[in-house]
Every structure is written in structure tokens, then in C-alpha cells.
């Protein structure tokens, strides 16, 4: 049985900057039996990041759509896990107003960080919270999940305008703000399933030191540097924009071209 104390020690061992910005994608099931359950896990994460900013996705893309277009910031449940749903309901947590790809944040300037995403018609606009993660040199913690859960990679593809990643038309979605205002947010959506193939880039991320492993409870942790991830993937996707269109492993020539010792790497 994991406890607040044992999880705190593991969190300390991960050596994540307490004053920085941390995005957590998570699986409570992978963490294993924990005294106090999800609230204990969130207590550990928030305590560690009390001098910085803790961010969790609170997406609603699985059910907010043209047929059910209304997203309530206060009422609409997150579709990406127990921890994300419990986190958004905590005192002092702010949630962004994007109808399908909202995030929730607590800590330093959380209200400012989450503001304004309803201005954008794509899930991960560069000027949105997803782009601000890069500006803040955030760390991404994949807690019991792998790179296929890394929404930030969707952002990189969007910023590079990779073909066939977004619908050409906009759905007439509506965000209901905490004060009751109804905001029209015409939105494009992700298409296809490129995220199922995001894990094929893991060997390169490890080789470049952009990703490292750790442990939290029973869960394997992957820690990713947003700056390095954006830099490397921008290079790779510019050369191979269809990289995530299938699950075929990287070819030897691709691996050699973008190895840390290759002049072509950066």
C-alpha cells in the first residue's frame, strides 16, 4: 500500500523543479493501491509543485461535439482519467475554457495560464495553454501512461501544420463559463489516430536525453522536456511529416540521421 510519505519520497527522487511547470498525464490504476486514493496522489503532486505550476488535462473531446455541443467549465467531466476529474474540482484550481481540450492548473499564475483558450478554433493552438507549456519550458510527466497519451505532440503537429490532422470545417461548439456566459467557440477537431503511434519516437527521445524514466507508486514514469521534444520533433516531422501515420518503427536511416551524433540532428 502506497502512502503520502512513500509517494512523496518517490516524487522527490524524480528531481522535478518545484518552481517550474509540470504537466501530468496519468493513470491512477497504474499507480496501484494508495492510502487515501486519488486525493493522496494529488496532494503529493500539489505539495511538490507548491512553488510552481501543476497542470493536468481535463479534456472533453470524447463527448463534446456537434451533436452535444455544450461544454460547461464547472460541470463537464474530464474524459481522461480519475486524477484529472478530481483535480479540476479542487479549491484553487482553474480550468481553461476550450470546449474539447481544456486543462486545469493550480499554483503560480494558474488563472493567467488557463485564460483565453476559447479564442482558438483548434485543440492545441500555439498561443493556447499547450503552447505556453513550451514557453515555460515545462516538464511533462507521463505517470503510468506512455507517449501515446502525450497531447503536447498533437500540439507540435498542429504548429507545423502537418497534413490531415484537423478537420477542414468547424463544429459550432459552445463554452459555458463559470459566470454563466455562453461563448461560441467554432472548433476544428483532430482526425485519424496518429497518437497511437507517438511511442515510436521514444528511442530517439531517450538517445537525446529528452526523456528519462522514473517510478511513482507501481507506475512507470516518463519525464519529457518540452523544449527538447519540440526541437527534435520539429526537425523529424519537417523531414517526415507522415511519421505517425502508421506504426512502423523508425528506419535505420532515420535513426542515424537524427542520432545525437549526427550533424543533421540539429
Q: Is 112 helix (H, G, I), strand (E, B) or coil?
A: helix
Instruction: Give the angle subtended at the CA of 201 by the CAs of 54 and 167, to the nearest 5°.
Output: 75
Determine contact, residues 164/188, Cβ cutoff 8 Å: no
Q: Is 255 helix (H, G, I), strand (E, B) or coil?
A: helix
Cβ atoms within 10 A of the Cβ of 21, count?
24
Torsion of CA 29, 226, 61, 121, to 10 degrees: 170
> What is the pTM assigned to this prediction?
0.96
**Per-domain boundaries in the chain:** 4-257
How far is the C-alpha of 97 from the C-alpha of 84, rounded, in Å? 15
Listed in order, strand segments (DSSP E) in 58-177 are: 70-72, 94-95, 103-107, 139-143, 171-176
How far is the C-alpha of 44 from the C-alpha of 38, rounded, in Å? 10
**Which pLDDT belongs to residue 28?**
98
Which H/E stretch holds residue 262? none
Report the chain (266 residues): mean pLDDT per 10 consecutive residues.
98 98 98 98 98 98 97 98 98 98 96 97 98 98 98 98 96 98 97 95 96 98 98 96 95 90 57
How far is the C-alpha of 190 from the C-alpha of 162, rounded, in Å? 11
Amino acid at each position: 500500500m502506497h502512502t503520502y510519505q512513500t509517494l512523496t519520497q518517490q516524487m522527490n527522487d524524480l528531481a522535478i523543479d518545484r518552481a517550474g511547470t509540470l504537466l501530468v498525464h496519468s493513470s491512477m490504476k497504474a499507480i496501484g493501491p494508495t492510502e487515501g486514493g486519488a486525493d493522496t496522489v494529488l496532494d503529493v503532486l500539489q505539495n511538490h509543485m507548491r512553488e510552481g505550476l501543476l497542470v493536468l488535462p481535463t479534456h472533453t473531446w470524447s463527448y463534446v461535439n456537434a451533436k452535444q455541443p455544450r461544454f460547461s467549465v464547472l460541470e463537464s467531466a474530464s474524459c481522461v482519467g480519475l486524477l484529472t476529474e478530481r483535480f479540476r474540482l479542487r479549491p484553487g484550481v482553474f480550468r481553461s475554457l476550450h470546449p474539447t481540450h481544456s486543462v486545469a492548473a493550480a499554483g503560480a499564475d494558474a488563472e493567467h495560464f488557463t485564460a483565453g483558450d476559447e479564442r482558438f478554433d483548434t485543440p492545441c493552438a500555439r498561443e493556447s495553454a499547450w503552447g505556453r507549456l513550451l514557453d515555460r519550458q515545462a516538464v511533462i510527466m507521463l505517470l503510468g501512461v506512455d507517449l501515446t497519451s502525450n497531447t503536447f505532440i498533437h500540439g507540435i503537429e498542429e504548429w507545423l501544420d502537418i497534413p490531415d490532422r484537423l478537420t477542414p470545417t468547424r463544429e459550432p461548439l459552445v463554452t459555458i463559463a463559470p459566470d454563466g456566459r455562453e461563448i461560441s467557440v467554432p472548433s476544428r477537431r483532430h482526425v485519424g489516430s496518429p497518437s497511437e503511434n507517438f511511442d515510436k519516437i521514444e528511442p530517439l527521445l531517450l538517445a537525446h536525453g529528452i526523456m528519462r524514466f522514473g517510478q511513482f507508486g507501481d507506475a512507470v514514469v516518463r519525464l519529457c522536456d518540452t523544449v527538447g521534444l519540440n526541437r527534435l520533433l520539429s526537425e523529424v516531422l519537417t523531414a517526415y511529416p507522415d511519421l505517425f501515420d502508421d506504426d512502423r518503427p523508425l528506419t535505420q536511416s532515420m535513426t542515424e540521421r537524427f542520432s545525437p551524433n549526427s550533424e543533421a540532428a540539429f
